[in-house]
Amino acid sequence: MFKYLKMTNYPINIRSKDLQMAKYLITQFGGPNGELGAAMRYFSQKFTMPDDKGKALLNDIATEELGHCEMICAMVNQLTKNATLKELENAGLGSYYADFNKGIYPINASGVPFSASYFAVTADPLADLSEDMAAEQKARAVYENLIDLTTDEDILAPLLFLRQREIVHFNRFKELYEYYKSKGY
């Protein structure tokens, strides 16, 4: 079902250490509007879509969101590469280090761990797709906030790519929503 390509959807090549940005960026992996929650939401919802069109779209986007998780994790890893314990502590990452060292763990920027409560599944295609559109808009807003927090082109380029994918996903969900609405679901 899945085919893994040993490359990210967009190249990640961050050359400068930025521990503060890593601390902010981790929210797009494990935060309430992050990629992990989106992937799980769409994967879970696909099973109760009323037809193969909906199931395929949600599965495709869920799979892409997992690729976005990989991108965010690669960015966090590169931003913290070669950081000393003192640098991590100074960036407010001492407690993160105590629990995870430099491992990538799904949390938000404040350190709250990922929760399944971040995604909704109702088995109502219009309700679920409404939730999905809102999720894409919230993720887009977070990407815009993250973009405001850096001037590093190595970070900005993948963030802009990811932000654009949120817009594409929103539009695809909106098309499916309108289609199902016209069918009386």
Asked if pLDDT for residue 1 goes beyond 80, the answer is: no
Is pLDDT above 80 for 5? no
pLDDT per position as a tens digit, 58-98: 999 999 999 999 999 999 999 999 999 999 999 999 999 99
Per residue in 117-160, pLDDT (tens digit) is 998 999 999 999 999 999 999 999 999 999 999 999 999 999 99
109-143 exposure pattern, b = at least 16 Cβ within 10 A, e = fewer:
bebeebeeebbbbeeebeebbbbbbebbebbbebb
Domains in the chain: ranges and CATH: 19-101+118-182 (1.20.1260.10)
Proportion of the chain above pLDDT 90, given as a percent: 94
Does 2 score more than 70 pLDDT?
no
Q: Which positions ≥6 away from 30 have C-beta within 8 Å?
A: 36, 105, 106, 107, 108, 113, 114
Which pLDDT value is given to residue 7?
86
Global pTM?
0.96
- The confidence score (pLDDT) of residue 108 equals 96
